[in-house]
Structure 1
């Protein structure tokens, strides 16, 4: 073969990714075949062509241009990931930083991994992330709920908080995402008020310099029919103007009778690059959900525990088909701007306005019908209530950053100064009434009842302003991260209780200083041990008996770990151990004269170990594996039945492994098979540990085929069948407040995707 720099690069790259030198020698022929085949693909050939032979018998190939591949050197914190393995992130620093240099655990679920498992929501997209509890209320059509390191997890989109009020919360369509990032531990030093367990940051798909065109059809269990399209590329020859258009529509039922899951989603975005140092990206989306109530409040007897009438079917709907629904309409408009002045200074600004409205009429179970002795009369008839919840929220968020990269002697600095602001204004109106009883085992729908009027109106305004400063310092192989931030938070709530004719206004002002210190060391071998300390704060609404407003909860975490990025492999591994505490937790006032009031003397502690590894190898093998073990405890409380108990929704152990292999060459080239397991340990749903949801293990699988290997005219077409909960295990995901929630039953989804 004649000397060709492109082919030399491709062959060298394939060799670098191979397992070892022995494999290099044994697979040299396969490598050359793959290089030749890749050259044909990149050249855009759809039909086989016979290359001409030279006088010396060598084969001359046309020059090819390699485009559209994300490598470690071209990956950015806000862009696509090559395979399953991300190497950079901004979630833990707000700068484009290698993961191995970030002294805190960050998990990244890349676009390829989301697509490989045909994830239909964020809970499914992150189901293989260690320590993250994703099925807190089973297959909910309302929202994605998470628990991490013992605490609830807020969601961010492109680094800006997704706030809501009542049930008016933005729910993000995973098809519109490039990656999902999980930042573990306190994050207030960068993002302001937050729980101490961590956060989920979602990164949107953005306009691309390379043209992309994708259409996908999907269908399967519960009558799901879905179509999606993803288009992008330059609008002019110079690449100054770029666009991206992502859209999805579906109609679907769910595993619960009379509960649908329909969605319409469109996300246009546009980038203007007037020069090499400036970019302005407009990011928008519109989404409408027309769903039912798949989250059923089931008594423990019949779901978790035995019932003389048998097990309650997982498809059982205990509402009213003509009443229950969950409708949501949302949109966001914002931008990401960046400009580099010179080799030292650059600025970035992210802005977004989000609007969401929900209408949620619902019938929910109160409990069994009981006799004079307080026991259920037949363990099958339950009382119900009718609820009506209508909410609206408008959220404005702004984050402005100035970055300076410079040296002071042998020390390299990346200094970040930022100011962010967020404002939420919204209404949360509700009404509660009675509904007729129903037989759980033989339900009769359509019984008459009075639809409840709105009798409680609540308006809320929230403001937060923060200033932060960070210095990422490098000296030889050492890295030191110093961060500090001060926040001011204000809230105002106006409540109009129409039932009791009362008006209540509540104002609260809070401020806090938080900081983080992190240290790491980079070895030539790819290992990077690190240690860090970080803290958090979160305002607490309400007052004590004397009328004194509650102080924010505070959290502190120590974390040590080691990250490993093996040279020459597209792989990444993180092992971490942490100790996390939260103070100022509200607990019951022990003074008998203050019944119904609370004080802030509670404390909780969580410590644990987490392990995650991801790899995408040139042989067509993609894998991810994770494990977590947590020890959580309420360490201080005035309520004896909570002291020493485990924190809610915090399994002691979780483990998962997912592997996907695609045959690269030979008669079976293009055929792929994958699968994985998810183990979730037992967990409790309340502070008293009264109900325990047992552990469960689920098996998932996928079979896929690159149709282009069958016929060149089908190049870019991919057929896949995904099976979630392959053996259709029935399990209780969680229990809390006297009710239990079934987990997801088996789902079979067939998809046909075409990239052109």
Structure 2
């Protein structure tokens, strides 16, 4: 529907964004992640990370271990220590203090993780294998079961096949450790938050060649909207076996069950960013049917990671996972304005399941000469995806509802005859080759090519109509970096993306594949002896066959979408006890008609500072606080004002084993609209959670 014109908010300049959140010197730098030679030990025993030599190491970017500061690709990592410190409750809270990532733009959704990376959609992976998220069938990684989370910014099809141009999020699961360790966590908080977690790990044999880990969790909490809630059970066992000195296999399993009433944050511009004669809509207002709507989700996975060293040069690696997701979803939402005080509602249902197989095979070769170090990666991966279920999309549901004081129950339940039986099958085979050459310890040259073949069948079992799409793509990638003696490493890179889309438009037709490409010029700085890093980059990213939301609220494909921008990020110890994490992002995202893309702010900035007291009467106390600034965004002629949110934490080690902690997000309980994209969305309200942990 057309949007009435809104009086623009005052303009915000770059200086204002930086001054709000980056008014701290970036002269110090840090990130405590082990060096490549120690990466495996650190993964198996996270407790050792704090005592090992510090160097930034990443595996996601190249599928091989390489120092992040010597990689001509943009990657950011959040490790377990930071996840605990900020008490991350959902995956989309992970990168609030990193550059290039937007989250929280749809408010506090309790059944979906929402990210925008460099102004575009992203794909989600777990342990390097794709997590399928088609339509409303959303796999949700539980943060308590993760060791770290990585974001690859920009097109990443060269190694991972189908992916949106924004990049990918990779969630890395906790693994067995060589030394016995464990923890029990209890939490309580506002909105009736209750949580108990168990994480235990160690050797099962005297020699340590068989190791286990068991992670379990129960939590429940009311949603940010009235009459919404979610309850979760989570269990993740894993087992690592050293078959020989050269061969290791790690089995990874998980089971997760969610039951609740979905949080639909959809609200109209009328009553949120626009004034009305009746005032503003309360952020907690719920337009669904709490007694009828439901979100019952069960997801399970089982797989393994296999590694064999043939010799000092060649290694074979294979990752495999089978996963299932069962969903029974009823979700009612406000659709459009009916009168000055009422709105029409829509309703959707999904009752079905996803089954998927993913396997990735890699040969990694490393050899050296007097002047060179060469790493060759040859891989083949395969993905098989099947979705079967009944679906219903009603754009007229029940009587109009009062926008300011909703009453429930005035509707007719959906009959099975109103549902469509659908089945989607997709298979994708990918072959890839990548070579990284290090020359004279001064130059890093990177090149790669990938071929993908994807087949998608979308069958409407109710009408008997089947649509088929066969897509092939050749993706290229390249980069060059100069390694300066002073730790300043400039680089230039080019990457491409390719993404077949398993969903259909409102007419039931398959979307065309999306394709993207990116040029990036950047600088990475991590001088020897400094505990941390600073990265800066400018990028130019373009997507063809992009998806946008039409005025009627449907997803349609409309030509090209472009995003250009600048990112600055640092994680650093200013002193032995004082740590700073800071980021700034400028993104200019535009649609084919050169209009600004909805949801995406031009400016984002954040800074988190924490201090650990040591050697005095306050020994064991750690305090921290953060500021997050998000600039104004637009939706057509509607402008969404900028906002600033403050977070805080404090922890205290009672003994060597016991720790208490309090985390507060949106400390001032600021009321704000996070974004608009046809609908508008209030940001998350204040969250207060207290924790008690016992660790051994």
TM over 0.5: yes
Q: Aligned partners of 1:672, 1:585: CA distance in 2, in Å?
A: 46
SS of the residue 1:518 aligns to: strand
2:72 paired with 1:131: no
CA offsets 1:532-578 (integer angstroms, 9 cap, x no match): 1111222357999xx99976332221111111113223211111111
2:532 counterpart residue number: 571
- Pairing partner for 2:119 from 134, 137, 150: 150
Q: Aligned partners of 1:549, 1:262: CA distance in 2, in Å?
A: 35
2:542 paired with 1:581: yes
1:692 Cα deviation after fit = 3.0
Written as runs of structure 1 = structure 2, the 5 A alignment for 1:482-497 is 482-497=447-462
1:654 counterpart residue number: 604
CA offsets 1:367-425 (integer angstroms, 9 cap, x no match): 222xxxxxx2xx22222234322231011100000011113553221111000000100
In the alignment, is the contact (CA less than 8 A) between 2:119 and 2:563 conserved in 1?
A: yes
CA offsets 1:680-728 (integer angstroms, 9 cap, x no match): 112235xxx24332211100001111112xxxxxx22111111100000
2:9 counterpart residue number: none
CA offsets 1:100-159 (integer angstroms, 9 cap, x no match): 121011010111111111111011122112221111321111110111112111100011
Written as runs of structure 1 = structure 2, the 5 A alignment for 1:219-238 is 219-238=188-207
In the alignment, is the contact (CA less than 8 A) between 2:55 and 2:67 conserved in 1?
A: no
Distance change >3 Å, CA 162–CA 549, structure 1 → 2: closer
1:605 Cα deviation after fit = 1.8
1:113 counterpart residue number: 82
1:630 Cα deviation after fit = 1.2
Written as runs of structure 1 = structure 2, the 5 A alignment for 1:196-595 is 196-369=165-338, 376=339, 379-408=340-369, 410-433=371-394, 434-447=397-410, 449-453=412-416, 454-476=418-440, 477-497=442-462, 502-539=463-500, 552-585=513-546
2:630 paired with 1:667: no
1:98 Cα deviation after fit = 1.0
2:688 paired with 1:748: yes
1:32 counterpart residue number: none
1:627 counterpart residue number: 584
Q: Aligned partners of 1:286, 1:598: CA distance in 2, in Å?
A: 32
Unpaired runs of 5+ in structure 1? Answer: 1-18, 21-67, 370-375, 589-596, 637-642, 709-714
SS of the residue 2:461 aligns to: strand
1:584 Cα deviation after fit = 4.3
SS of the residue 1:123 aligns to: helix
In the alignment, is the contact (CA less than 8 A) between 2:256 and 2:300 conserved in 1?
A: yes
In the alignment, is the contact (CA less than 8 A) between 2:264 and 2:331 conserved in 1?
A: no
1:72 Cα deviation after fit = 6.8
Q: Aligned partners of 1:548, 1:409: CA distance in 2, in Å?
A: 57
SS of the residue 1:189 aligns to: helix
In the alignment, is the contact (CA less than 8 A) between 1:150 and 1:648 conserved in 2?
A: no
1:733 counterpart residue number: 674
CA offsets 1:453-477 (integer angstroms, 9 cap, x no match): 2521110001110000111111112
2:591 paired with 1:644: no
Distance change >3 Å, CA 288–CA 550, structure 1 → 2: closer
Distance change >3 Å, CA 413–CA 253, structure 1 → 2: same
SS of the residue 2:435 aligns to: strand
In the alignment, is the contact (CA less than 8 A) between 2:438 and 2:445 conserved in 1?
A: yes
SS of the residue 1:74 aligns to: helix
Distance change >3 Å, CA 308–CA 421, structure 1 → 2: same
1:587 Cα deviation after fit = 9.4
- Pairing partner for 1:703 from 640, 646, 650: 650
- Pairing partner for 2:571 from 608, 611, 614: 614
What TM-score comes out, normalization by structure 1 length? 0.82
1:24 counterpart residue number: none
In the alignment, is the contact (CA less than 8 A) between 1:131 and 1:653 conserved in 2?
A: no
CA offsets 1:39-58 (integer angstroms, 9 cap, x no match): xxxxxxxxxxxxxxxxxxxx
In the alignment, is the contact (CA less than 8 A) between 1:147 and 1:649 conserved in 2?
A: no
2:676 paired with 1:676: no
2:56 paired with 1:87: yes
1:586 Cα deviation after fit = 7.3
Aligned length: 653
1:598 Cα deviation after fit = 12
Q: Aligned partners of 1:320, 1:585: CA distance in 2, in Å?
A: 33
SS of the residue 1:416 aligns to: strand
Q: Aligned partners of 1:550, 1:176: CA distance in 2, in Å?
A: 35
Q: Aligned partners of 1:383, 1:741: CA distance in 2, in Å?
A: 17
In the alignment, is the contact (CA less than 8 A) between 1:83 and 1:113 conserved in 2?
A: no
Q: Aligned partners of 1:677, 1:241: CA distance in 2, in Å?
A: 44
In the alignment, is the contact (CA less than 8 A) between 2:35 and 2:67 conserved in 1?
A: no
Q: Aligned partners of 2:385, 2:641: CA distance in 1, in Å?
A: 39
- Over aligned residue pairs, what C-alpha RMSD do you find? 2.7
1:617 Cα deviation after fit = 6.5
1:26 counterpart residue number: none
1:179 Cα deviation after fit = 0.7
In the alignment, is the contact (CA less than 8 A) between 1:86 and 1:108 conserved in 2?
A: no
Larger Rg: 1
1:664 Cα deviation after fit = 1.3
Distance change >3 Å, CA 550–CA 310, structure 1 → 2: closer
In the alignment, is the contact (CA less than 8 A) between 1:75 and 1:87 conserved in 2?
A: no
2:640 paired with 1:719: no
SS of the residue 1:112 aligns to: helix
1:45 counterpart residue number: none
CA offsets 1:334-372 (integer angstroms, 9 cap, x no match): 111101011011100000011001111122212222xxx
1:75 counterpart residue number: 39
Unpaired runs of 5+ in structure 2? Answer: 1-26
1:604 counterpart residue number: 561
1:671 Cα deviation after fit = 1.2
Distance change >3 Å, CA 305–CA 248, structure 1 → 2: same
Written as runs of structure 1 = structure 2, the 5 A alignment for 1:58-73 is 73=37
CA offsets 1:229-259 (integer angstroms, 9 cap, x no match): 1111111121100111111101211221111
In the alignment, is the contact (CA less than 8 A) between 2:35 and 2:57 conserved in 1?
A: no
CA offsets 1:493-514 (integer angstroms, 9 cap, x no match): 10134xxxx3211011011111
